[in-house]
Structure 1
Amino acid sequence: MSAQHPNAGPLTPTGTIASTSDRRRVAFATVVGTTVEWYDYFIYASAAGLVFGQLFFEPAGEGVATILSFLTVGISFLFRPLGAFLAGHFGDRYGRRIVLVVTLILMGAATVLIGLLPTYAQIGVAAPVLLIVLRVLQGVSAGGEWGGAVLMAVEHAPRARRGLFGAMPQIGVPIGLLLASAMLALMNALFPGDAFIQWGWRIPFLFSVVLILVGYWVRRRVEESPVFAEIAERKERTSAPAITLFRRFTPLVLLAALVFAGNNAAGYMTTGGYIQNYATTAIGLDRGAVLTAVTISSVSWLLSTFAAGWLCDRIGRRTTYIIGWIAQGAALIALFPLVNSGEVVLLGTGLVLLTIGLGFTYGPQSAWYSELFPASVRFSGVSISYAIGAILGGAFAPTIAAWLQQSTGSSDAVTWYLVGMAVLGLVATLLLRDRRGIDLRPSAEEAQSTGLYAWQR
């Protein structure tokens, strides 16, 4: 064995030496990459709540156009499993790094094309059809990106700091929301009224070109995951990882998916554009002020996500989640009364309170998911669980919320729907076992395949 480099850091999960600069490069790359991916994704969701109903579905009438616009947000989730299956297969067979680069380019290209898309008034029914096609491509990309970013971060991390390193790709999500909301707020200020609706909304989509180039450059400089490198060296790559996953670990996939569903349903009140639409149309608040409030809440979401990643290395993934579910449930009960007050400051307060709970039920997810699944099917396991959870939770949460609001004439039904999803996430959390610090190497596959559930010891 070669001598340790004087600037080298602690052992990676594979037992090789990782320098501090290597680990920082990986952490930075996962943050930048997921920020770019989710900026693209959230720009669409925010625009769907603000302008897409009018631009692409106006002949359906105002109320129906809003629901159709939110449906296009949800449709992409149906294709996340396809992205997860493809990314899981190629990620477990050929490595994490190549998947990250491909998904980044696919997401960015779809986003830029949306920014160039003619409206219904210009080309008729072809406009919403093309919009849906591009949104599907975003869904495929999002379904594959997250698992690769998570495993690159966690599998490079020192064993005692997986939660903190795993929080790096997680904070890319609130940063992406922050950038998306800030860009739309800026465009709304620079191009008010009809100018924003006519073409001001397009600029944030076209700006994605710059982000793609930055993300591509950063991700190309990152080394392959040490766990996958050992899998390849040992020639233990699974030929059909998704089939193996479902044959052996179906209950685990479903429980992990429900954990994410509880978080995702509440999260998509803002990331899916529902609160933005509800606050501006039903309550009558200024669009720019609402976007500013969402931007501020993105900062609190970022901080709470990072804090939860740090904390879960000390008190465990499961305990951190339980704290988060309690905080999230309390915030959901307070959210709509604060929004319905018609005061922007109270709207912002409600969103900040919500994002604290969201951060604590999101920050530990990377580390916990990575420690739940064996090395040979880990990419497939984390990606597919995430994609299924996104469908069960966030896919149609804005659509369901809009339908409940219109059907009942009250936001109370929306509140109890979201609280019910949080309770479902809490139950799934209690049924899973905390496996903090488990050996992630391929040589520990047997231990990784047992003791998955809370009732097992």
Structure 2
Amino acid sequence: MNPAIDDRADSAEVRGRRATRGAAIGFAIDCYDIYLPVIALAPALHFFMAQDVSAGTIALINGLVFAATLLGRPLGAFIFGNIADTAGRRKATLIAMYGSAVGTLLLAFVPGYATIGLASIGTLIVLRFVTGIFLGGQYTGAVPLAMESSPIAKRGLYGGLITMGFPIAFCIVSLFTYVLLTATGGAGNGDGTSVYEVWAWRIPVVIGAVVTFAFAVYYGRTVQESPAFLTADARTPAVKKENPAKQLLRGSSAKSLRQVLVLMSGVWILSNATSASFPITLRSLDGISPQRGTAIIVVAQLFLIAAYPLAGALSQRIGRRIFLAWCGGVGAVVAPMFYLAIVSGVATSFIGLAALTTGLVLTSICCFGCTAAYISERFRTELRATGYGIGYSFAIIIPAFYAFYERGLATFMDPDHTTVVLYVIGGLLLLVGALWGPETKNVDLSPDAATNKVAEDVK
């Protein structure tokens, strides 16, 4: 029996659990790979550069390495979205998984500046971009497959379980980095010759590659193709099939895409404010060492692990539209209050700062708990993977330059308060995007409804 096409042996509930488990682990691996350069590789960047580079140049290079991964994801979403909508979600996901495993493994073999000069950092950036393409394709196929395989009543919960991979990955990479830095005596004096800078950073990279490859094998053996895709594919004659990306740019699909891009731009601005900008501000406060700052953020991320499935389940109960609109309002109004309380020194103890940081994290990025389900519900079956991938990934581009926006704002306001502007703008975009779109929680993604009404048609 071919598990890719014969799905009759297992119940819909079993298929849904397997697909959700596959998407959740895959998303965690995706986030793990994204956090590698931000957390694990950052202390070793001197290994790839000359010893006399300035701190500003190091910060710029670190930003470029991170941006290369993010900018590769939209291209991967476009490429693999088309594959997923024409050849199958499962096939696209497997290709992307094996590709990301190879790209991550190659990263571990990049020689340092002392060996190949400037080509070292150039190779690093190119590899991160190429790996980003495969990472963008990984969730583009896996998430729609999981949502199509999930029971309607549990789709919100399953979507939240998938999104748990984000904080889980953050905690794992942070733990690896902390243990390795402690075991090897730290990153040294920044001359690129310490044990961590030369080889220890490669350990979490190799582990990530091996885990990705092993999971790809597991995914291929246990996860079946989406029944909704198989039904829609069988009903659409090959001669009439059209490029999904082209279909996405016209009619009601184009309207759905515009709305999702606005909503997700708000989500990503909120996310970058909390996950990228805030940690730097936190570690710059008096009495906050890098280790203490990381520990505070990890505590907040642990609460987020529990919050995501609860957020997804809540969106299933009250509706995605209402839930996301509330998240937008809370992100614009309440999150800045937590942020200002932290930078103003309202609390200085570890427990106090951890509590305020947890409040900031929960009020700003809990919205991710239902995005997997919501975006999947906004596009019909033939376009779902492409719509999900483009809507999720292309919205990253403008928010990715948050550091430049904050630098500009800092010319006429307190630099510590520029992040507040990001929270307000991100929250308002999320609020507007949510109210612009329809309610989607009862949209049927089952095979019988694959070619019928979807969220595009719900008024």
TM-score range, shorter chain: 0.7 to 0.9
Cα distance in 2 for partners of 1:406, 1:293 equals: 30
Aligned to 1:107: 100
Q: Is 1:154 matched up with 2:147? A: yes
**Cα pair 1:32 1:218 within 8 Å, conserved:** no
Partner of 1:218: 218
Say whether residues 1:262 and 2:251 are aligned partners. Answer: no
1:421 to 426, 447, 451: 426
Please tell me whether residue 410 in structure 1 is matched to residue 415 in structure 2: yes
The answer (yes or no) to whether the contact 2:328–2:429 under 8 Å persists in 1 is no
Asked if residue 187 in structure 1 is aligned to residue 183 in structure 2, the reply is: no
Q: Deviations over 1:328-375 (max 9, x none)?
A: 331234225415646554543343123213453111111111111111
Aligned residue in 1 for 2:290: 287
Aligned counterparts, 1:89-108, within 5 A: 89-108=82-101
2:231 corresponding residue in structure 1? 230
Alpha-carbon offset, residue 136 of structure 1: 0.5
1:178, distance to aligned residue in structure 2 (A)? 1.8
AA of the residue aligned to 1:382: Y
Structure 1 residue 93: Cα displacement: 0.5
**Partner residue of 2:320 out of 295, 317, 320:** 317
- Name which of structure 1's ranges 84-93 and 133-142 shifts more when overlaid on structure 2: 133-142
Instruction: Give the match for residue 437 of structure 1.
Output: 442
Q: Which residue of 2 aligns with 1:46?
A: 39
Alignment of 1:20-419 (within 5 A): 20-47=13-40, 50-52=43-45, 55-56=48-49, 59-193=52-186, 194=188, 195-220=195-220, 221-235=222-236, 238-248=241-251, 249-269=253-273, 271-272=275-276, 274-280=277-283, 285-329=288-332, 330-335=334-339, 337-339=341-343, 341=345, 344-393=350-399, 395-398=400-403, 400-401=405-406, 410-419=415-424
One-letter amino acid of the structure 1 residue matched with residue 260 of structure 2: A
Q: Which runs of 5+ in 2 are unaligned?
A: 1-6, 189-194
Aligned partner letter, 1:201: W
For residue 245 of structure 1, report the CA deviation from its aligned partner: 0.6
Q: What is the aligned length? A: 438
Mean Cα deviation higher: 153-162 or 321-330: 321-330
Does the 8 Å contact 1:296/1:348 carry over to 2?
Answer: yes
CA contact (8 A) 2:74 2:133 kept: yes
When residues 339 and 131 of structure 1 are mapped into structure 2, their CA distance, relative to the original with a 3 A threshold, is farther
Which residue identity does 1:202 align to in structure 2?
A: R
Bigger mean CA deviation after superposition, 112-121 or 26-35: 112-121
What residue is the counterpart of 1:11 in the other structure? Answer: none
Describe the shift of the 1:337–1:135 C-alpha distance in structure 2 as closer, same or farther (beyond 3 A).
farther
Partners of 2:280 and 2:53 in 1: CA distance: 17
Q: Does the aligned pair in 2 maintain the 1:258–1:428 contact within 8 Å? A: yes
CA contact (8 A) 1:265 1:397 kept: yes
What is the identity, as a one-letter code, of the residue corresponding to 1:294?
I
- Give % identity: 24
Compute the displacement of 1:103 (Å): 1.6
**Structure 2 CA distance, aligned partners of 1:22 and 1:295?**
33
Quote the Cα distance in structure 2 between the aligned partners of 1:347 and 1:121. 42
| Aligned-partner Cα distance in 2 for 1:353–1:50 | 29
For the Cα contact (< 8 Å) 1:149–1:169, is it kept in 2? no
Moved more, 368-377 or 330-339: 330-339
1:358–1:331 Cα change, 3 Å: closer
Change (3 A) 1:143 1:15: same
Assess if the C-alpha contact under 8 Å between 1:326 and 1:357 holds in 2.
no
User: Which deviates more, 175-184 or 440-449?
Assistant: 440-449
Q: CA deviation at 1:54?
A: 7.7
Q: Decide whether aligned partners of structure 1 residues 401 and 180 sit closer, same or farther in structure 2, where only a CA change above 3 A counts.
A: farther
Matching residue's letter, 1:228: F
- 3-state SS of the aligned residue for 2:164? helix
Q: Tell me: CA distance 1:439–1:153, structure 2 relative to 1, closer, same or farther (3 Å).
A: same
The secondary structure found in structure 1 opposite 2:369 is coil
Distance, in Å, in 1 between the alignment partners of 2:412 and 2:81 is 40
CA contact (8 A) 1:110 1:137 kept: yes
Mark the CA change 1:117 to 1:409 in structure 2 (over 3 Å): closer, same or farther. farther
CA apart distance, 1:59: 4.8
TM-score (norm 2): 0.86
How far apart are 1:85 and its partner, in Å? 1.2
Cα distance, 1:207 vs. partner?
Answer: 1.5
Instruction: Give the Å deviation of 1:156.
Output: 0.6
Cα distance change on mapping 1:301 and 1:372 into 2, 3 Å: same
User: 3-state DSSP class of the match of 2:203?
Assistant: helix
Could you tell me which amino acid in structure 1 is paired with residue 243 of structure 2?
A
Instruction: Write the deviation string for residues 50-104 of structure 1: whole angstroms up to 9, x where unpaired.
Output: 5437854765521232133213312333332211111111000011111111222
Q: Distance in 2 between matches of 1:163 and 1:181?
A: 28
Helix, strand or coil for the counterpart of 2:393?
Answer: helix
| Cα distance change of structure 1 residues 389 and 214 upon mapping to structure 2, 3 Å threshold | same
Cα displacement string for residues 23-58 of structure 1 (whole angstroms, at most 9, x for unaligned residues): 322222222111112111112222465543785476
Q: Which residue of 2 aligns with 1:7?
A: none
How much does 1:315 deviate?
0.6
Change (3 A) 1:315 1:138: same
Checking the alignment, whether the CA contact within 8 Å between 2:12 and 2:151 is kept in structure 1 is no
Specify the SS of the correspondent of 1:436.
coil
CA distance in 2 between counterparts of 1:346 and 1:49 reads 28
What is the alpha-carbon distance in structure 1 between the residues aligned to residue 50 and residue 338 of structure 2?
Answer: 33
Q: Which AA in structure 1 matches 2:225?
A: E
**Normalising to structure 1: TM-score of the pair?**
0.86
The answer on whether the counterparts of 2:331 and 2:363 sit within 8 Å (CA) in structure 1 is yes
Q: 1:171 to 1:320 in 2, by over 3 A?
A: same
